Structure 1
Amino acid sequence: MKSVAVLPGDGIGPEVTSAALDVVEELSLPLDLRFGEIGWECWRQEGDPVPQRTWKLLTETDTCLLGAITSKPLREAEAELPSDLRGTGRTFVSPVIQLRQRLGLYANVRPVVDLVNTRFDFTVIRENTEGLYSGFDFHGLDDALWNLVGQHPNAQASGPEATSVTLRLQTEFGMDRLLRYGFAYARSRGHRRLTLVDKPNVLRHSGNHLRERLESIAGEHPDIEAEILNVDAVALWMVRRPERFGVLVAENMFGDILSDLGAGVMGGLGLAPSGNIGDHGSYFEPVHGSAPGMAGQDRANPMAMLMAMAQMLDHLDLRVPGDELRAAVRSVTARRATVTYDLGGTSGTREVARAVAGELGVTEAGTGAAEDAEDVADRLARLDSASVSDALDSLGVGGVLAGITPRVPGTRAAGRAFTVTYQRVDRNRTGFRNAANYLDDVPEGSFVVVDNAGSTTCTNWGSLLTRLAQRRGVRGTALHGSARDITEIRAAGYPLFSTGATMVSGKNRVELAATGQNIVIGDVTVRPGDIVVGDDNGVLVVPVEYATEVAARAESVQRTETAIAKAVAGGQRLDEARRRFGYARPWDNGGSSSSSHV
C-alpha cells in the first residue's frame, strides 16, 4: 500500500483535484490518500502557506499530489494577513519553492505528449535547484560584483547602484545527479536519445563544464545517444519536429521556458502535468495556475491533473493503470465532444471527468457501464486487432473472420456491422441487378460486411462504391468475396478487406439477397450492430453485448505489452517484466471495470 499526501491547494485547485480523484478512485489501486492543507488560505489565516502539520504529513507519506496554488506580490500578500500578523516580518515564499528546496526535488519532469495523433511523446527534465534561478540575483552591486562587471560600458554608464547582476550557478554535484536521472528516465521509457539543452557557444565556460559532465556520464550509458543542442534551435524543432526528441535535459531557466513551450505544443496548460523528483521525496501537480477568478464555476480543465496523477502512478511503480488513465484522457481529448472551454468545448469540470471515467469502463458509482456502440467502436478503432483478439479469447468468444485479408495496408477501422448477403443470378435472367444500391441506406459509422460465399469469380466492391462509402461516413468494408480497383482504393486510403481480388464485374452475376440479416463466415456469426474491427492483421467481430468489456481488456493488454517492451528495452529480463506487469492476466491489473475504491 502506497500513501499519498493530497494537498488540493486553492482557487480551482480543490475542484480539479476532487473531480480527478473521482476518476482515479475507480481504478481500485493500492493507495492510502491522506489529505492536508497548503496555499493561500493557510497564509491568510496563519501567516504560513505550508503549516508544520503539512510538513509532518509529507514526511509520513510516499509522495504528494498537489493542486494549484495562488501566489501574490509582496504588498498584496502582506495586506491579506490577519491584522495581528501584519508587520511581524513574515514573508510569503511560494509553497512550490519551499517544497522543492526543503525536500531536495532537483528534477522537474514535464512530459509532452500528443494526445490526439500520438505523433510525439517526449519529456523535458529541468534542473530545479541551481542555474539562473538559484537566487543569486542582485541590484546595487558591492565591490566584489562590481569588479566582475564594472568594465562593461553599460555598467560604467550606470554605476554600481543602478546595475543588476544575476549569476548562473552550475555545480558538478547538481549537473551529475540531473544527467544521471535523465539517462535513467530515458532507459526506463525506451527512449534512445538524450538531448542536453544549453547555449555553449555564448556561455562558453559554464557551457563547456556542462558539456564535459555530459560526455563523462554518457560513457556510462552507451545504449543511449547523447547530444548537446542550442536552446534556440531546440525551441524551433520542438514546434517543427517534436517527434525528433526523447528526453530533453536543461538548466533551470532554459528548462522552465522549454517546458511551457512543450505545454503549448501539446495543446495548452490545461493538458500539461508536472512531477518534481528528488532522492527522497516527490510531488506531482498540473502546470496551470490557480485561476481564483474561475473558482467554483465548474469550468476548469481536469485533464492536466489526471495526467499528473498518471505520472504519479508511474513513479509509484503502477505503470499499467497510469497508462490506462493516460489512454482515457487521450480518447476524450481526441474525440473533442466533451472538453472544456480552453480546448474549444463547453463542458464543465465534472462532465469531463465523467467522460474520462467512461473511457475506463466505469461510472461514477464504479459499476460497469454499457457504452453507446459508436463510442466503443471508437475505442476499439484505436487498438490493434491482436489485443482485441486476446480480449475475446479471455472471454471465451471467437471472432476472427478467417480468410478475409487486408487490401489497403496501414489502415485501421472499427464500426457497427451492416450486413449484406448476395446470391448468384439465375442464368436464365439477364440484365443489371442493381446489386449495390443498398449503399444509399447504410448509416454513418457502419462497417459493411458482405457475404458472397467467399466467391472469387466476380467482384462485390470497387472504386465507385468506395467513393460513395467515404462520403456517407462508412468506416470500412469486409467482403466474404472479391474486390477490384485495388490501386484506386489504396489511393483513397479506404479500409478494405476481402477474400480475393479480381477484375471480373459482379453486376450481371450476383444480386442482392438481403440486408440486415445474420451472416455466418466460417464459424463466426456476424449480427447487425456487432462491432467489426479491421487492421493489417485481418478482421474480427466483437459481439455488441461484450464490446465494452472487450475494449477495456484490450486496452489493458496493449498498455501492459507496451510497458513490458519499454522495461525490456531498458535492460530488464523478459520474464521479470512479464511478472511485474501481469502479462498473464493484464485486465486484472487496473485495466478492467471495478467497483472498489482507493
Structure 2
Amino acid sequence: MNRKTVAVLPGDGIGPEVLDAALPVIEALGLPLDLEFGDIGWDCWRTEGTPVPDRTWDLIGRSDAVLLGATTSKPRREALAELAPELRESAPQYISPIIQLRQRLDLFANLRPVENYLGGGTPYRFCVVRENTEGLYAGLDWNHVPDEMWPLVAEHPNVRRSGRPGATASIRLQTSHGLDRILRFAFETARGQGYERVTLADKPNVLRRSSAYVLERLEAIAADYPEISFEVLNVDAVALWMARRPERFGVIVAENMFGDILSDLGGGVMGGLGLAPSANIGESGNYFEPVHGSAPAMAGRGRANPAAAFLTIGLMLEHLGFKDEAGSIQDAVRHVTRRRDRVTYDLGGDATTSEAAQAVIDACGEVPHTPTAAVITIGDELLRGDLEDSNAGNASRMLGERGIPVRVRHTIGDDEAAIADAIRPSLGRDDVIVVLGGLGPTSDDVTRSAVARALGRPLEHREEAWQGVVERLTRFGVAIHDDNRRQALFAEGADLLPNPNGTAWGCHTKAQGSSVIMLPGPPRECLPMLESVLRDGLPHVPAPPAVATVFRRTLGIIEADAAALVDDLVRDSGVAVKPAYRWHYPYVDIRLGCPPEAADDLSKRLDSALADHIVTDRDRTAVQELALLLDERDLALDLDDRLTGGVFAAELARERHSSDGSRSLSVVLSADWESGDRSAYTGTVALTCLIRDETGEHTDHLTVPNRGAEVTTYFAEFAAWSLARHLGGRSHPHTEESA
C-alpha cells in the first residue's frame, strides 16, 4: 500500500500530551504513515495573530488526513488582550481554528461514534452525524434585527413590548444541498458500519414547516437505501432515549445545534468525553479530533485520559483504509477500559496519561492476558447462613485450575433485579461468568429471568429441556405441574446444558465477549456440569498465557514490609509481574506470577531482597522442612523445649519418619520478655535458638510481638527455621509453571 501523510496538529492545553502518548501506536502497528507536525492554536494566535498560520494550511493541503489534538478558544476581548503588543494595533479578527478548518475545507459532516467501551449493562453501538455548515450555526445571527427581517418579527407580542433595540434574531438555515449531502452521509455510514436504522432528530412538532421540508429530503434520499429503515423523532425524545435505551439507535442525524448537543450527550452516555472520538469529513478534506477539549487547567499534570485520542486515531485509520488496524485499536481500548487495567482517574484508576496509553499499546500488540471469571451464587438461604456456600469455593477452584482465576464473587438473594445488577458489570470485563442456583420450578426461582434481563434478551421455551424435565419426573413417579415449565425457559439463543442428576438444565451463551454459564444450585448437579463445560472448552475464551509462579514463605517480617520490598523489586525488574501476599500466622507468603523466562531472575532478586526471612520456596512450614532434613541426614535432636511446653517436639515428631539418628544436635530455645507482660500478652519477646554440634555453637535471634497464646507457634516455627538454616535447609529455588 502507498504511504500516506498525516498532518499532526497537537494544539494546546492537554492536546500535545495526549497525542504524544497515543501516537506510538502507529509505529506499534507498523503502518505506512508519515507523520508531519504543524502548528495550530492559542500560542500561534498570541505570537502571530492567527491560530492557523499559512505554513499549517500548506501542510494540510498536502496531507491525506489531519489529526488534531485540542485547541483553546476565547471570546474576542480576551483574545485581543493576549495578543503580542505589536499585533494589537491591527486588531485581527479571532476565528476559532475549528471553525476555520470546517469552513475552509467544507467539512460538512461531524461523526461521533458512541459505544459501550466500559462494559456492563446492555450493549450499545451507535453514532451521531451532525451537519456542520448550516442550521442555527450558519452565522446568520444578529444582535439587532436587520432591516430586511424587521417586518417578519415586528408583530410578535414580545417584540412590541421590547421594541426594536431590545430584539435579536438568528436564522436556522437548511438547504437542499446541505440536507441531501448530510442525509446521504448518514445512510452511507449506516450501510458501511452495519447499522439497520437512521433516526432524524428534529423538532417537527414545533418547527412544522422547515421540518416538513427536511422530511421530504429524508424520504427522497432514503429511497436509495431500501435495506435501511428510517424514522423522525423529536430531538428531546432522542436525548431521553439515548440516556435510557441507547441500544435502540443506529445512526442519529441532526442539524448543527441539535447535533452538537446530542454529540456531547453521547460522550456522557459512554462514560465521559475522555472516551469520545470525532471525525469531521468533507468532500475534499478532513480532520480527526478527540473532543475532550484543551482543558488548560489539566495541562502538564499527566492526568488526561488518552483513550479518546486512540479511538480518534482509529477513526482516522479506518478513513485511510486501515480497517483491521483501526479495529485492533478499538479492541485494545475496550480491553483496557473494561478491565480497568492502568486507566486514568476519570475511569476510577490512578494511571498517568503515559501509563494508560502504554496499556492500550500493549493490548494492540496482543500481549497475552490472563482470562478472568466472576462467580455468582444465588439464594436467600445462602445469605441467611442456612446453607454453606460451598459452590462458590468449588467453582473458583475449578476455574483456577484451568488458568481462569476468579476476579470477583457475589452471593445474591432471590431477587431478579439484584441478580441482573450483579451480572451486568462483568459482561465484557470477565471472560467467564458462572451463575449458580435459582433454577427450580417455584416462584422464588428467578435466576432465569434475571440472566435474560442482564443479557437484554427475551426468555424462550426450549422443548428439548422440557422433555428432559418430563422424562425425569415420570421416571421417578413424580407429578408434573405447570410450574415445572419454568425449567424449560432460557435466554434466547443460549446453548443448553443437560443435567444428568436433576430436572434443572443449565445453559451457556456468549454476550459482549463474555461466556455466561447458568447452572442449578445443588452441588451434586452443578459441579459435574461445570466440570463438563470447562473440560470441553470455551472456544472464545482466550487461552491463558504460560505463567511461572515464584513462591517464598517468610518469617520474621510483617506483610506491609514484605510488600514494600517486593513491589520495589517488581518495579525495577521491568517485567509484567502480578504479586500476591498472604499472611497466615506466623508466616507471610509471597507469590509472583510472571513469564516463565523471567522466573530465574526474579527468584534471585527475591532471595537477595528477603535473604534473612525466607523459610522455604514450597508450601511447607519450617517444622515440615526441618523434619525432612533430619530424616534425610539421619539426625536426632537433644532438645530443650521448655519454652514451648513440648509443642515443638510434638509437632516435629509428628512430621518425622524416625526420631532416632546416628548423630545428634543440641538445641536450646529461650526467650526474654523485654517489655510488656508475659501472661497478659503485651509487648515483645526476644527469642534465641542456640545450636551445638561438632563445629561449635551457632545462635539465631528474633524479636516478635507477644500477641497471644498462639505466640507458642511462633516459638516452634522459629526454632525449626533456625535449625533448617543451620543445616543448609532451604531447597534450590523452585517455580511452578502453568498454562
Give me the TM-score of the superposition, normalised by structure 1.
Answer: 0.67
**Cα displacement (A) at 1:120:** 0.6
Aligned length: 435
User: 1:334 maps to what in 2?
Assistant: 338
Correspondence for 2:287:
283
Which residue number in structure 2 is paired with residue 83 of structure 1? Answer: 85
Q: Which residue of 2 aligns with 1:13?
A: 15
Give the structure 1 partner of residue 650 of structure 2.
none
| d(CA) in 1 for partners of 2:147, 2:527 | 94
Q: Give the equivalent residue in structure 2 for 1:419.
A: none
| Cα pair 2:80 2:91 within 8 Å, conserved | no
Residues 160 and 351 from structure 1, CA distance in 2 versus in 1: closer, same or farther, beyond 3 angstroms?
same
Aligned residue in 2 for 1:495: 517
Task: Identify the match of residue 211 of structure 1 among 193, 215, 224.
Answer: 215
Amino acid at match of 2:504: T
* Displacement of 1:484: 3.5
Q: Indicate conservation of the 8 Å contact 2:105/2:282, yes or no.
A: yes
Q: Could you say which residue in structure 1 is the equivalent of 2:400?
A: 446
Helix, strand or coil at the partner of 2:12: coil
1:376 and 2:370 equivalent?
yes
Partner of 2:41: 39
Name the aligned partner's letter for residue 221 of structure 2: I
Q: Which amino acid aligns with 1:194?
A: V
Alpha-carbon distance in 2 for matches of 1:21, 1:177: 32
- Name the structure 2 match of 1:264: 268
CA contact (8 A) 1:7 1:65 kept: yes
1:164 Cα deviation from its structure 2 partner: 0.7
Partner of 1:240: 244
Q: Secondary structure at the residue paired with 1:226?
A: strand
Cα gap change, 1:2/1:545 in structure 2, threshold over 3 Å: closer, same or farther? farther
**Match for residue 126 of structure 2?**
122
TM-aligned CA deviation for residue 143 of structure 1: 2.4
Per-residue deviation, 1:345: 1.8
Give the drift of 1:543. 6.6
C-alpha contact 2:198 2:228 (8 A) present in aligned 1: yes
State yes or no: 1:184 paired with 2:188.
yes
- Give the match for residue 251 of structure 1: 255
Q: Distance in 2 between matches of 1:486 and 1:2?
A: 62
Q: Say if 1:3 and 1:33, in contact at 8 Å, map to a contact too.
A: yes
SS in 1 for 2:142: strand
> 2:235, 2:199 → 1: CA distance?
10
Letter in 1 for 2:21: A
Instruction: Indicate the residue corresponding to 1:321 in structure 2.
Output: 325
| Structure 1 pair 209–447 and aligned structure 2 pair: CA distance change class (3 A) | farther
Question: 1:551 maps to which residue?
Answer: none
Q: Is the 8 A contact 1:447 1:474 kept in 2?
A: no
Contact 2:371 2:543 in 1 (8 A): no
- d(CA) in 2 for partners of 1:225 and 1:256? 24
Deviation at 1:316, TM superposition (A): 0.8
Which residue number corresponds to residue 101 of structure 2?
99
* Residues in 1 aligned to 2:65 and 2:398: alpha-carbon distance in whole angstroms: 47
CA RMSD of aligned residues (A): 3.7
Q: Is the 8 A contact 2:29 2:365 kept in 1?
A: no
CA shift for structure 1 position 545: 7.4
Distance in structure 1 (CA, Å) of the matches to 2:60 and 2:518: 56
**Partners in 2 of 1:337 and 1:303 — Cα distance?**
12
Q: Secondary structure at the match of 1:321?
A: helix
Query: Structure 1 residues 36 and 445, CA, compared in 2 at 3 Å: closer, same or farther?
Result: farther
CA–CA separation in structure 2 for the residues paired with 1:180 and 1:311 = 19
TM-score relative to the length of structure 2 = 0.54
Confirm or deny that 1:161 pairs with 2:165. yes
Q: Deviations over 1:261-286 (max 9, x none)?
A: 11100101110000000001000000
Shift of 1:496: 7.7
**Which one-letter code corresponds to 2:220 in the other structure?**
S
The Cα offsets for residues 17-54 of structure 1, whole Å up to 9 and x where unpaired, read as 00011233201111111111100010111011000000
Alpha-carbon displacement from aligned partner over 1:409-428 (angstroms, at most 9, x marks no partner):
xxxxxxxxxxxxxxxxxxxx
Look up the equivalent residue of 1:105 and give its one-letter code.
Answer: L
Match of 1:509 in 2: none
Amino acid of the structure 2 residue aligned with 1:163: A
The residue number in structure 2 matching 1:231 is 235
1:44-59 residue pairs with structure 2 within 5 A?
Answer: 44-59=46-61
Distance 1:538 1:97 in 2: 46
What residue identity is the alignment partner of 1:26?
Answer: A
Equivalent of residue 311 in structure 1, options 302, 312, 315? 315
- Quote how far apart the aligned CAs of 1:319 are: 0.9
Task: Give the counterpart letter for 2:71 in structure 1.
Answer: I
CA contact (8 A) 1:332 1:339 kept: yes
Q: How far has the Cα of 1:490 moved from its partner? A: 5.2
CA distance in 2, matches of 1:15, 1:504: 51
Judge conservation of contact 1:533–1:541 (CA < 8 Å) in 2: no
Distance 1:230 1:476, change over 3 A: closer
CA deviation digits over 1:419-455, x for unaligned, max 9? xxxxxxxxxxxxxxxxx99966965961559xxxxxx
Q: Is the 8 A contact 1:142 1:160 kept in 2?
A: no
Distance 2:158 2:392 in 1: 81
Distance in structure 2 (CA, Å) of the matches to 1:133 and 1:538? 48
354 and 146 in structure 1: CA distance in 2 versus 1, 3 angstrom threshold: same
Question: Residues 157-179 of structure 1: CA distance to partner in whole angstroms, max 9, x if unpaired?
Answer: 11111101010000000000111
Alpha-carbon offset, residue 302 of structure 1: 0.4
Structure 2 equivalent of residue 398 of structure 1: none
* Matches of 2:76 and 2:212, distance apart in 1: 38
Q: Secondary structure at the match of 1:67?
A: strand
Q: Residues 461-500 of structure 1: CA distance to partner in whole angstroms, max 9, x if unpaired?
A: xxxxxxxxx9xx99669xxx99645727559997389xxx
Closer, same or farther in 2 for the Cα pair 1:540/1:256, shift >3 Å?
A: closer
Aligned-partner residue type, residue 185 of structure 1: T
State the alpha-carbon separation in 2 of the partners of residues 344 and 51 from structure 1: 39
Seen in structure 2, the aligned counterparts of structure 1 residues 69 and 489 have a Cα distance that, compared at 3 Å, is: same
Rounded Cα–Cα distance in structure 1 between residues aligned with 2:209 and 2:290: 35
- SS of corresponding position for 1:228: strand
Deviations 1:137-173 (A, max 9, x none): 1112232221111111110111111101010000000
Using a 3 Å threshold, how does the CA distance of structure 1 residues 534 and 136 change in structure 2: closer, same or farther? farther
CA distance in 2, matches of 1:252, 1:540: 44
1:141 pairs with 134, 139, 145, which one?
Answer: 145
Matched, 1:357 2:361: yes
Structure 2: state its 5+ residue gaps.
375-389, 404-422, 424-430, 436-497, 510-514, 549-739
Output the amino acid matched with 1:148: L
Q: Within 5 Å, give how 1:353-432 maps onto structure 2.
A: 353-361=357-365, 371=368, 375-378=369-372
Maintained 8 Å contact 2:28/2:365: no
User: Counterparts of 1:496 and 1:201 in 2: how far apart (Å)?
Assistant: 47
Considering Cα pairs closer than 8 Å and 6+ residues apart, tell me whether 1 or 2 has the greater RCO: 1
Secondary structure of the residue that 1:446 maps to in structure 2?
Answer: helix
Q: Is the 8 A contact 2:273 2:292 kept in 1?
A: yes
The structural deviation recorded for 1:542 is 6.0
How far apart in 1 are the matches of 2:137 and 2:271? 27
The superposition leaves residues 233-259 of structure 1 with CA deviations (integer Å, 9 ceiling, x where unpaired) of 111111111111110110000000001
- SS of the equivalent of 2:73 reads coil
Q: Kindly indicate whether the alpha-carbon contact (under 8 Å) linking 2:136 and 2:256 is maintained by their aligned counterparts in 1.
A: yes
* Structure 1 residue 173 corresponds to structure 2 residue 204: no
Structure 2 letter corresponding to 1:9 = G
Q: Which runs of 5+ in 1 are unaligned?
A: 363-368, 383-435, 450-469, 507-518, 522-530, 547-598
Q: Which residue of structure 1 aligns with residue 115 of structure 2?
A: 113
Could you tell me whether the CA contact under 8 Å between 1:448 and 1:474 is conserved in 2? Answer: no
User: For the Cα contact (< 8 Å) 1:445–1:474, is it kept in 2?
Assistant: no
Distance 1:126 1:440, change over 3 A: closer
